[in-house]
Structure 1
């Protein structure tokens, strides 16, 4: 436990997988949490778990790719929880197993809309209050696919490369305001809807699922959402107070750069 100063954290993509694990970890650290996702039923299940940690919880069914919806969710979060968020974790994301040859323009646009524009929207709306308070933390969930181009992942790679660039640029722009911006780059993570969808698409195209690629991972196991949440919790803590603009791998040694 890092002994956070109490504050409000917004976690996008909080209904499942990595976002859910992050929301639970931040609640355990004492943060009031606002959980954002398009899956209302999933949000309520996570909210119940967060409340058991004794913190205030707000849920918002919101499409982060739609700027008006993000503005509305931000205003409602501040009104319900009584203060503007000082922590933002952009975990909402989608992806497809597809190359330039078999992926559609519509799929590409939707991936960029959710992964890149969604992160932009949340930062654009929530960061002014953090600058006014002279402090805050942003963590973007990127991917090791944002550091190395991978086959059959054109749109996803493009979106995650963009997130790493955004992370570095925002870190430079916001450092003078006491705001740190970092990214986490997960490797092959199990127990997420994205993993399940990617495995289905891979198998349909004659490619191996994640469980058949474990031998490629030096630590010889798939990652868990909790592995990612632990690193997010560290980056938000005062123990990481001299870190900004970093993109931290959580890959079991699969990627080291």
Structure 2
């Protein structure tokens, strides 16, 4: 019988991470390799991917660099062909590539803003699930992990277009989980909160915006890409073999907190006389 730690061991498995060149994707790719998986690294920036590949290989794992624009379905199909030729099969797919584009009030976002974000965050995930999911269904197993966001779990002023795509990713995740469960393919979503990446730099660099965001996080800390890694390793392997159709939230308590920043300030001072 496998030990509890063995359930998190990914030795012998192969994984592919989109948007792997930086931020959450980079941390996840490295974490999967540390857990024992060979990793295909997919993004547009070849130089950054090659540096990451060196780190993966230094851990004793195989790395495959896939220069690919996820906005182009033909490039995704070519990346799949290369992955299967190199690795033979794929066990874990992490759909991480995404972006915000312009942020602003709903009425200030034009249709080009919507089209760009819908294409990058949702359509690319659909294309990757279609190509790699078909492979997993045919071979009778695999784990798909779609990186969503807490923006997809509720109203998100100034980020309507981004929030809509992330909500759609969660819906897609649950639908595919239901369709593919009988084939042995698990599909789950992961919803991080605010994490320090290139994507969020502009928000967190503004002192007022950063203070406002932090005030709504009960843990009192903005996340780091490394905070996401353990959740992905869990969803990738046998530790979560009974889990599919879930949305695992990693947000320092943000979405469970309904009292508002003002109440949090009182709570952090301890006992409140009434």
TM-score of the superposed pair, with normalisation by structure 2: 0.87
1:1-257, aligned counterparts within 5 Å? 2-81=8-87, 83-95=88-100, 96-190=102-196, 192-199=197-204, 203=206, 208-210=208-210, 212-256=212-256
Query: Which whole-Å deviations, capped at 9, do the CAs of 1:9-40 have from their partners, x for residues lacking one?
Result: 11000000000010000011111110001122
Segment of structure 1 superposing worse, 216-225 or 160-169: 216-225
Partner of 2:264: none
Counterpart CA distance in 2 for 1:138 and 1:119 is 10
Deviation at 1:74, TM superposition (A): 0.7
Contact 1:146 1:164 in 2 (8 A): yes
Segment of structure 1 superposing worse, 166-175 or 93-102: 93-102
Query: Which whole-Å deviations, capped at 9, do the CAs of 1:204-248 have from their partners, x for residues lacking one?
Result: xxx833355323211111111111111111111211111110111
Counterpart CA distance in 1 for 2:52 and 2:113 is 28
Query: Which whole-Å deviations, capped at 9, do the CAs of 1:137-190 have from their partners, x for residues lacking one?
Result: 000000000000111001100100100000000000000000110001000101
Segment of structure 1 superposing worse, 56-65 or 169-178: 56-65
Q: 1:101 aligns to what SS in structure 2?
A: helix
Q: 1:193 aligns to what SS in structure 2?
A: coil
Segment of structure 1 superposing worse, 245-254 or 90-99: 90-99
Where does structure 2 lack aligned partners over 5 or more consecutive residues? 258-274
Segment of structure 1 superposing worse, 38-47 or 142-151: 38-47
- Give the paired residue count: 250
Deviation at 1:198, TM superposition (A): 4.2
Counterpart CA distance in 2 for 1:92 and 1:211 is 27
Contact 2:11 2:35 in 1 (8 A): no
**Higher-Rg member (1/2):** 2
